[in-house]
Chains A and B, each alone.
Chain A
């Protein structure tokens, strides 16, 4: 999914004061009422289970992702798998790869590992940097704020895919590739989350309990940890939930281009690159990674939408009039813009577009 959309949607929660996380129980109650989100959550849970249990599943099948099976491919016909449906058999549940004869099921489930692992790790890096920069910017002196905000602007202005592509070129191939891909994505795409956190922190700073803590002589670190982080949880979780599917797409795209995860480590994006010339002989070689990517990104996106609705019902259930377009620049306005009057619920659209800012997208 497009990062601009993520920014557009997430900004909705970032700019209005979101009620502090209203407790895990209430969150679950609200999430449970959304059927689509529940289905998506089940799918995501299943995918995580597959990723974690990948070695177990392949052991159950009796295969591993990297063994070549030259006996299973017809070299006379250019490496086409022998047997119906691309070599599907009791030993090879989803058939084998053309040319190499590697087991497709094993590569697919190990690919889930790479895909989800890289995406989640990248999200952790993005959240860590974004929250640190955002909080420091909001609590620091004017000078610090100016500096960090400008740095954030520049980070946001860099096209993610291009920068990631280029950065991956210069690191020696001895560096573990999945870790590198996660780091690169994480280090480039934290700008929007920093903006959201900064805006939210500025709002929280004006609240009585935070002011009281500051006046009683607490240091900034203690104030941030005890009084601010709980209030930041809702927007940060919301935005992070939208970042995960985006990161999955970026990893797959980089691997598709041949600069992401390197063979023999299986990756869905990489499988797709190799698969397009074999679609007639072994259609599942193409359809499996494509389907896996589609289902994963879709489930994570729907779950992300559900999480936002559960954390901030106001963003979803009310349409607001004339909000953020009156905003100033770079998310500063949230501190100054009055909370607009809400109108009666109508179309109940989740992605109220009011906070879309012209420079809000890092773009992938």
Chain B
């Protein structure tokens, strides 16, 4: 298998294998829990008999491989759960039922996903604009005072945890200056304007931190490109500095920025969990933190898998984009 088609195929197969491996690891790690799941699910005042009943209902006594097989089957073909009186069908991709609320995990995730996607995608637009813009600016002004200021600011940005900047922004903008109300999620489909206004601060918090990383990378990539021979040739032919920076050097920064952006999806998801918790946005991150606190394992496993899926997918897409953007990549 050679060429671009082969590269795509190998990448796709690798992605599927990685996802399966992650599902096995996550499932095994979480269901070999040292804690007593049945007791936690049932509550502290349950009698031993009730705890036993819960354990039976959750199939906690079955061997692990059988439970994983069940889980996989549910994922691909759906699953039937008996709820005592009736049978509830959970359609594929079925991630099981919540221990706490008996809600289907897939449905739960689907209700939370728009919030998280709104947050991450909106912030991504901001951090790419801010980060690349700052990087270009500091490459253009290299050696001057303004560049040094920008470099210091971006360094400070990489050293600030997202929840610190979010907290400070919320207190200053909403609390002290009262420029914005404290964020409350409004769905895009309900009211696009309110959606954007309410997400503005969460977007900024997440984007400012990530933008700092991008600014550093863009600046470095541009300075590297500026040192190359073809740039010297452009300059010798009298191409203006603005065109050299804005067109030719920026092109050199393109591939690393794409790569870092996909890389950062994982880090941004972690940042999104913090941002959602801080601003009280009802997204996947907030729900995951809640599920972790009440040891609702099907919800935890489902969400980790879904998030892992997005991160692995983003990495795969980045690999392909990277190969397209930079012809020097060896398609090995």
Contacts and interface: CB of A to CB of B under 8 A. Distances in A.
Contacts of A4: 213, 260, 263-264, 266-267
Contacts of A167: 29
Contact of A297 (B161, B260, B291): B161
Contacts of B17: 150
Contact of A162 (B29, B170, B270): B270
A328 B22 CA distance: 24
Contacts, number: 243
Interface stretch (B43-51, B65-73, B151-159, B237-245): B151-159
A171, A249, A259, A363 pick with most chain B CB within 10 angstroms: A363
Interface stretch (A25-33, A118-126, A214-222, A344-352): A344-352
Contact of B293 (A1, A2, A169): A169
Interface in A318-364: 319-322, 325-329, 332-333, 343-344, 346-347, 349-354, 356-364
B142 interface: yes
B331 to A, nearest CB: 9
Contacts of A290: 164, 167-168
Given A170-B35, A362-B266, A325 B255 contact: yes
B322 A358 contact: yes
A302 interface: yes
Given A5-B213, A159-B267, A347-B224, 17 more contacts: A2-B264, A4-B266, A153-B14, A154-B22, A157-B311, A166-B292, A169-B292, A253-B274, A256-B274, A269-B163, A297-B159, A326-B328, A352-B224, A358-B318, A358-B322, A359-B263, A363-B265
B273 A161 contact: yes
Contacts of A344: 227
B273 A165 contact: yes
B259 A358 contact: yes
A363 B315 CA distance: 11
A162 B318 contact: no
B307 interface: yes
B224 to A, nearest CB: 5
Interface string A259-283: 1000000000100100010011000
A154 B25 contact: yes
Contacts of A294: 156, 159-160, 164
Interface string B262-284: 11111111110110010000000
Interface stretch (B54-62, B92-100, B195-203, B215-223): B215-223
B145 to A, nearest CB: 16
A116 interface: no
A346 B223 contact: yes
B292 A353 contact: no
Interface residues of A, number: 76
Nearest to A318: B227
B115 interface: no
Nearest to B273: A161
Interface string B12-52: 00100110011001100110011100000000000000000
Contact of B224 (A1, A259, A329, A354): A354
A318 B318 CA distance: 28
Given A157-B18, A172-B35, A253-B270, A346 B226 contact: yes
A170 B33 contact: yes
Contacts of A172: 34-35
A7 interface: yes
B330 A272 contact: no
Nearest to B295: A169
A4 B256 CA distance: 12
B18 A165 contact: no
A361 B304 contact: no
A210 to B, nearest CB: 25
A34 B204 CA distance: 33
A2 B213 contact: yes
Contact of A349 (B163, B220, B273, B311): B220
B159 A258 contact: no
B332 A329 contact: yes
A50 interface: no
B29, B213, B268, B289 pick with most chain A CB within 10 angstroms: B213
A248 B125 CA distance: 28
Interface string A93-107: 000000000000000
B266 A353 contact: no
- Nearest 3 CB-CB pairs, A to B? A363-B266, A161-B270, A347-B223
Given A286-B167, A297-B159, A325 B326 contact: yes
B119 interface: no
User: Interface range on chain B: under 10, 10 to 19, 20 to 34, or 35 or more?
Assistant: 35 or more
Given A2-B264, A328-B330, A358-B262, A163 B304 contact: yes
A351 B135 CA distance: 13
Interface in B308-325: 308, 311-312, 315, 318-319, 322
B76 to A, nearest CB: 21
Contacts of A358: 259, 262-263, 315, 318-319, 322
B289 A272 contact: no
A157, A168, A256 pick with most chain B CB within 10 angstroms: A157
B163 A256 contact: yes
A166 B263 contact: no
Contact of B142 (A256, A301, A321, A347): A347
B224 A154 contact: no
29 contacts: A2-B158, A2-B209, A4-B264, A5-B158, A5-B260, A8-B217, A157-B311, A158-B311, A162-B273, A162-B308, A166-B26, A170-B295, A172-B34, A256-B161, A257-B289, A259-B292, A272-B164, A294-B159, A297-B159, A297-B161, A298-B156, A326-B330, A347-B224, A347-B226, A353-B256, A358-B318, A359-B319, A360-B263, A363-B267
A16 interface: no
Contacts of A2: 158, 209-210, 213, 264, 267
Contact of A301 (B35, B159, B293): B159
B281 to A, nearest CB: 14
Given A157-B22, A169-B295, A5 B216 contact: yes
A165 B164 contact: no
Contacts of B192: none
A343 B225 CA distance: 11
B269, B270, B292, B307 pick with most chain A CB within 10 angstroms: B270
